[in-house]
Structure 1
Amino acid sequence: MSDYNKAPLSNTELYDKLVSRNLLGAEEDKKAIYNAIIKIGYYRLSAYCLPFLQRTGTVPPAKVFKQGTTIHKILALLEFDSSVRAIALKALERIEIALGASICNHLCRAHGINWYVNADAFENEKARDEVYAKAIKHIGFDHENNCGLPSNPNLYLNHYYTKYKKPKLPPAWMLRECASFGFWSIAFKNLNSAEKTKIANAWSYPNKSKIQPAVFESWLHSLTIFRNRCAHYNRITNLSIPYGPKTPDNPVAAGRFTSSANTLRAFLLVTDIFMLNVDPNFDWKALLRDEFERLSDRVDVAKAADFAPGWKNDIFWQPWRPPASQSSS
């Protein structure tokens, strides 16, 4: 390892750095380049430059832009990335709420309103302790003093802590309102196998077969990563996304996992399967397709999202089931 010794550069120096890499149209696009450096930031912009860079054959090798690369092509990719994130979040919001309700409602009925302290729900006490530690952070509870923390930002928790003496811990449906997507992923991971099966069995593949607990657990973790990347404006295109979703054994679903698990396409596919469970009437995929279409003349959308060449024919877009009029005939 070495010391990091890069100093901050002026906007002019950053502009010169881009131009020195053979960016096409640097002079006529000078205003657009400066605007990108100022409004987006060079470091963030540089991530979207990566698909357009290539190494020279010099010693030492240098990175230069591929022939024909302009700032407008780079910004179009950034726009595509941003649009896909925004559309994915429309679905992920619904999924996050539904998953929290599914897990929490079942556990409240099976193990009481404070199930997150009940070791019977979990694989072992250590697993319970991990979930409990995260739960009390979300609800603002002081374990040492056995009371709610003052000035809780959630009014409903403030109300509970000031009005009720017992139980000291609020009911899990209040936890559900402030817990993160990641909390539900961790909670499910730590449950005992019987509870995992009961919860996962409430969710199905497009052919109505129940999702296996191991697949459900993998997909929860994957969508936690995906949701966080989308919500925090992280790049999702032209990228290997960590913790890709497990390919299911279900033949109907598995047939659509045609790309690597770590690609944007795989994460979108899992989002789609969950959305069929949550709100099949919300055609978020139509919004996604419209965005692919809108930017396809400026962005290689198939490559950016790891879809098949000729992205319109990718099996991802095909309906999971025939319309009711066809299936009943």
Structure 2
Amino acid sequence: MFEKRAFTISQQINQLKERGLIINPEDEAEHYLSHISYYRLGEYWYVMQEDKVEHKFKPNSKFADVIALYNFDRELRILLFDVIEKLEISLRTKMIYHLSHEFDPWWFQNFDLFQDSRALVKTLSNLEEEVSRTKDITIKSHFKKHKDDLRFPPAWKSLEQTSFGALSKLYGNLKNSIKSKDTIAKEYGAVNHTYLPSWLQSISQIRNHCAHHSRLWNRNLPGAPKLLSKPPFHWVSKVPKQHEFQYLYIHLCLMKYMLNIVQPKNHFTEKLDELFKKYPNVDPNALGMKASWQKEPLWSA
């Protein structure tokens, strides 16, 4: 039976010191621990421990470095959330436009267009929940004006209520014979429908980490996006090996590849590089970054 009792902040600080973490008065440990939980910060000092059982720290481990890692990770999530927002709005726009023209504005609830009907039921159930609880005046006005129409509002209204994850699932679930599926992939430099679903799944996963304030630094990411052997646009010459796909770098590359199409002349490279310079104690290898990544054709585009 678990019987550990909660520690006061003073007890937390004393325990960290006893385990070998250097905490100086100017580190403001009490302030940080009153606003960022001991458990959350523990994700950042875990790698500093030489004894993971007794939680003993390596020599010269500093609380200040823990806070630096935490702040780096927080700013990284903010940067990526900004990038993903642009990709999400673009994907939503393309899906609404191409599929509404190829079929009709209610294509997203047409079971004949999708591979997995059970997955579509789940997606539509979540959409129903979002649409029913939204305070969006456009949706409310639509229902008021079209009381006898029992369908969802058209795609350009309904899909504005969906998440990136839902859009990703809708796209991936489309039958491969759907013309728009290839058209959208081609417009993102993914050539055809074979590759884009795994890219969107990767980005959706990272978006969820950002939205829930979860650690990205030094995190192993599940899943392996499918990569083109000869991408039509600027890519990296030093492509990570399959076992390196657990690191963030390849996922950053996919975001940059799509962002170069959605927002040419973006400043993603500069902002990411500035972040590493701001926090020099952060090891780029923890994210799988390649040496001189900034000079790669993809990142210098």
Q: Say whether the fold is shared (TM-score over 0.5).
A: yes
User: Is the contact between residue 203 and residue 255 of structure 2 (CA under 8 Å) also seen in structure 1?
Assistant: yes
1:56-75 equivalences under 5 Å are 61-75=53-67
Q: Are residue 136 (structure 1) and residue 132 (structure 2) matched?
A: no
Match of 1:154 in 2: 136
Match of 2:273 in 1: 289
Q: CA–CA distance in 1 between the matches of 2:263 and 2:227?
A: 22
1:133-282 equivalences under 5 Å are 133-140=125-132, 152-168=134-150, 169-195=152-178, 196-204=181-189, 210-250=190-230, 253=235, 255-258=237-240, 260-282=244-266
Instruction: Provide, for residues 130-155 of structure 1, a one-character-per-residue CA deviation record: whole Å limited to 9, x for no partner.
Output: 33223222222xxxxxxxxxx64222
Decide which structure has the larger Cα Rg and report it: 1
Match of 1:318 in 2: 296
Cα drift, residue 173 of structure 1: 0.8
* Pairing partner for 2:42 from 42, 46, 53: 46
Cα drift, residue 279 of structure 1: 0.4
User: Is the contact between residue 222 and residue 245 of structure 1 (CA under 8 Å) also seen in structure 2?
Assistant: yes
Q: Are residue 91 (structure 1) and residue 83 (structure 2) matched?
A: yes
Q: CA–CA distance in 1 between the matches of 2:17 and 2:26?
A: 10
Q: Which amino acid aligns with 2:205?
A: I
Which ranges of structure 2 fall in alignment gaps of 5 or more residues?
Answer: none
TM-score by length of 2: 0.89
Q: CA–CA distance in 2 between the matches of 1:109 and 1:5?
A: 61
Q: Which amino acid aligns with 1:90?
A: D
Inter-CA distance 128–240: structure 2 relative to 1 (3 Å threshold): closer
User: Is the contact between residue 236 and residue 296 of structure 2 (CA under 8 Å) also seen in structure 1?
Assistant: no
User: Is the contact between residue 247 and residue 257 of structure 1 (CA under 8 Å) also seen in structure 2?
Assistant: no
Q: CA–CA distance in 1 between the matches of 2:49 and 2:194?
A: 39
Which runs of structure 1 show a deviation greater than 4 angstroms over 4 or more consecutive aligned residues?
none
SS of corresponding position for 1:242: coil
Instruction: Provide, for residues 139-188 of structure 1, a one-character-per-residue CA deviation record: whole Å limited to 9, x for no partner.
Output: 22xxxxxxxxxx64222111111112353320111122111001011101
Cα drift, residue 241 of structure 1: 1.9
Match of 1:145 in 2: none
Cα drift, residue 4 of structure 1: 4.0
Superposed CA RMSD: 2.3
SS of corresponding position for 2:195: helix
Q: CA–CA distance in 2 between the matches of 1:52 and 1:134?
A: 42
